[in-house]
Amino acid sequence: MPQHLNQQYQRLKAIASEDLRGREVARLISEMVLWSRQILQRAERVQLTSRVVGKRYYGFRGDGESRPTNEALYANDERELSRLLRAFRNGFRAATGDDIVRSAYTIAYSIFAANDVYEVGRKASATFFEILIGHMVARAVGVSSRKKVRIPESGADLPTDYVFDPGRNSRKIHLPIKTSTRERAVQAWVHQLVLERIFGTGVYRGVLVVSAETKRDSRTGEVFEICVPKQLQMFQSRVAAISRIYYLDPPHVYLNLAAEFPRVEVKSFGEAFGELRELLRA
Amino acid sequence: MPQHLNQQYQRLKAIASEDLRGREVARLISEMVLWSRQILQRAERVQLTSRVVGKRYYGFRGDGESRPTNEALYANDERELSRLLRAFRNGFRAATGDDIVRSAYTIAYSIFAANDVYEVGRKASATFFEILIGHMVARAVGVSSRKKVRIPESGADLPTDYVFDPGRNSRKIHLPIKTSTRERAVQAWVHQLVLERIFGTGVYRGVLVVSAETKRDSRTGEVFEICVPKQLQMFQSRVAAISRIYYLDPPHVYLNLAAEFPRVEVKSFGEAFGELRELLRA
């Protein structure tokens, strides 16, 4: 079964690189989720000791152990899953922020858990997550994505995270996507700075999407969030300004940054859909 | 025996944080090297297939396998080792660039190999390397190090890599140190940028010291160098300018960057000693 999931994953990568916004991407992702759930039926479900205030996590155990899964965000019920997948395939027309987050979280963590349990390697999960979020954002803003920009003075291509460019009379979106940031958070700010130094300030809006900052201590099995709020503030004030950070499972300490100074606008991913077009305009 | 090495390592960290430039640091490092060499006598020495043009590598095998060790830079002979350790303890007075590199490389890779073979974890090796290079540079420039700077407007401390500040009428050196960079190279440029944005351009000279960029493919056992020259050029032109990158085992593709544009001054670590005081003045 993992082989079949891997074949689907290879196809997804090929299709997404041609048309990230296309419906075929959503269809294939839905299929992959159903396969993952079948795989996970054979895995053991283990309650984890959570050191994150107000959140409960469990994991799946097979050949390997899965990363922590947030009980409140992961849809276990098959009927609810069908409903969330349908909303996803319909591009979340009229969906609530809650449904958007639960849908994205359940899709992502079904695949993550299946990959972790079968020790597929973290790269496949990271790439899958990039495609999942990239697809959702592409449909939300109604613009196709690119993964490079042309440097004006040299004509050379600079490889980037997904960028969305509605045309010369519009701001553009620069969309780094990560399953977690840890010491790699800085990359989003550096790429934002590089775009600013090539194209000027305010042309690209930086929007960072992250799944979670949880980590399971391999010795004790306890779940922690690894957060570096002071560092994010330093990047925001001394490297470049990122417009939004959206989390599927936002750490409280990061949500608080939206009310502090230097301000870092951290929000739940559910709020992205109402704001993304605004970010392109304003 | 690894326990004893670990005790020495814990003491080294404590002593170095008090006085990185002190002779006690050199004495303790020499002792650790001799212990490591004893440990390594019980490990198997394995020739590795090198895919790096013009360089030969071998490894040590015990409980774990060591990272690749460059044959031309690692002193195997015990008499040569004694001579190199003596030069090291004397602060390389009148030593040639070649001796400086061989000494630093042999010291570092004796410890790395012992740690790898006993699966001590990469963090201890990285910290050891930071102290080794930090000590050598502190003695070369004749200034004590700090690991934080005070942000003028807030009075808060910003944690940094080693910085060397001879006083208000002098430039200062910002010294990131890494066993290899890979995707983490960007950190050196970001920290350089942050210092520039706090203190102005040209106050801190960025000097990055790296051991090597080699990696052993865990499947085939072959040794590669992982290099991203275009990325370094982009950081150099769009993030901040680093004054020097010194390698113990410099990749050819990086050495070539010193003759290209945007220029990245990559050199052998042996050249650092003649240049560091100049970098503080010029």
Average pLDDT over residues A214-232: 92
For B198, name the nearest residue in chain A, comparing CA atoms only. Answer: A238
Q: What is the mean pLDDT of residues B113-142?
A: 94
Mean pLDDT of A257-281: 94
From A122's Cα to the closest Cα of chain B, the distance in A is: 16
Length of chain A, in residues: 282
Confidence class for position B1, pLDDT limits 50, 70, 90:
low
Mean pLDDT over A104-124 rounds to 93
| Neighboring chain A residues of B184 at a CB cutoff of 8 Å | 183
Mean pLDDT of chain B: 94
Q: Does B156 touch chain A (CB under 8 A)?
A: no
Angle at the Cα of B121 from the Cα atoms of B117 and B124, rounded to 5 degrees: 105
Residue B12 has, within 13 A of its CA and on its CB side, a CA count of 26
pLDDT recorded at residue A151 = 85
Average pLDDT over residues A155-163: 89
Is pLDDT of A279 > 90?
yes
Whether residue A193 and residue B197 make contact (CB cut-off 8 A), yes or no, is: no
Question: Contact A158/B184, CB-based, under 8 Å?
Answer: no
Per-residue model confidence (pLDDT) at position B182? 83
Distance CA A246, CA A249 (A): 9
Q: With an 8 Å Cβ cutoff, is B198 touching chain A?
A: yes
- Using a CB-CB cut-off of 8 Å, the residues of chain A touching B183 are 184, 187
- Looking at the partner chain, which of A158, A183, A234 has a beta carbon nearest the beta carbon of B194? A234
Nearest to B191 by CA among A229, A203, A183, A257: A183
Average pLDDT estimate for B137-160: 89
User: Which tokens in the block code for residue B102?
Assistant: 């061989």
Judge: B193–A197 Cβ closer than 8 Å, yes or no. no
Instruction: Read off the tokens for A172.
Output: 């553009």
Name the residue among A11, A228, A221, A250 with its Cα closest to residue A128.
A11
Q: Where are the alpha helices (DSSP H) in A184-245?
A: 186-199, 229-238
Q: Is the ipTM reported for this complex over the cut 0.95?
A: no
Tell me what pLDDT residue A69 has.
98
pLDDT in tens, B189-242: 999 999 999 999 999 999 999 999 999 998 888 999 999 999 999 999 999 999
- Is A190 within 8 Å of B239 when comparing Cβ atoms? yes
Q: How far apart, in whole angstroms, are the C-alpha atoms of residue B130 and residue B108?
A: 10
A68 vs A220 pLDDT, higher one: A68
- The Cα of A87 is separated from the nearest Cα of chain B by a number of Å equal to 37
Distance in angstroms (rounded) separating the CA atoms of residues B263 and B236: 8
User: Exposure string (b/e) for A157-189, b if CB count within 10 Å is 16 or more?
Assistant: ebebbbbbbbeeeebbbbbbbbbbbeeebbbbb
Does B184 lie at the interface with A, CB-CB under 8 angstroms? Answer: yes
Q: Would you say residue A114 has pLDDT above 80?
A: yes
Residues from chain B contacting residue A184 (CB–CB below 8 Å): 183
Structure tokens that stand for A271 in this block: 């709020």
pLDDT over 90 (residue A158): no
Task: Count CB-CB contacts under 10 A for residue B97.
Answer: 16
Any CB–CB contact under 8 A between B254 and chain A? no
* pLDDT tops 90 at residue A96: yes
* 3-state SS assignment for residue B63: coil
Roughly what angle, to the nearest 10 degrees, separates helices A23-41 and A122-141? 140
Beta bridge partners of A159: A148
B151 interfaces chain A, CB cutoff of 8 Å: no
Higher-confidence residue of B243 and A157: namely B243
- Among B122, B157, B193, most A C-beta atoms within 10 A, so best to mutate, is B193
Instruction: Measure A155 CA to nearest chain B CA, in Å.
Output: 14
B218 phi and psi, to 5 degrees? -70, -20
**Chain B residue with Cα closest to A159:** B231
User: How near does any CA of chain A get to the CA of B197, in Å?
Assistant: 6
Contacts of B86 (CB under 8 A, 6+ apart): none
Is the CA virtual torsion A213, A5, A26, A82 positive or negative? negative
Average pLDDT for residues A211-228, to the nearest whole number?
A: 93
Whole-number Å distance between alpha carbons of B230 and B238: 12
Written as six digits, the tokens of A24 are 């075929």
Nearest to B197 among A190, A194, A238 (CB): A238
Judge whether residue A146 has pLDDT over 80.
yes
pLDDT at A1 over 60: no
Q: What angle in degrees, to the nearest 10, is found between the helix axes of B122-141 and B23-41?
A: 140
Instruction: Tell me the two tokens of residue A115.
Output: 């990959």
B245: part of which helix (H) or strand (E)? strand B244-247
Q: What pLDDT score was predicted for residue A86?
A: 97
The gap from C-alpha B257 to its chain's centroid, in whole angstroms, comes to 19
Residue A121 in this model has a pLDDT that exceeds 90: no
Q: What are B76-106's pLDDT values in tens digits?
A: 999 999 999 999 999 999 899 999 999 999 9
The DSSP string of A51-104 is -STT--EEEEESSSBPPPEETTTS--SHHHHHHHHHHHHTTTTT--HHHHHHHH
Percentage of chain A surpassing pLDDT 70?
100
Report the alpha-carbon angle B105-B110-B111, nearest 5. 105
In chain B, residues 55-94 whose CB comes closer than 8 Å to chain A:
none
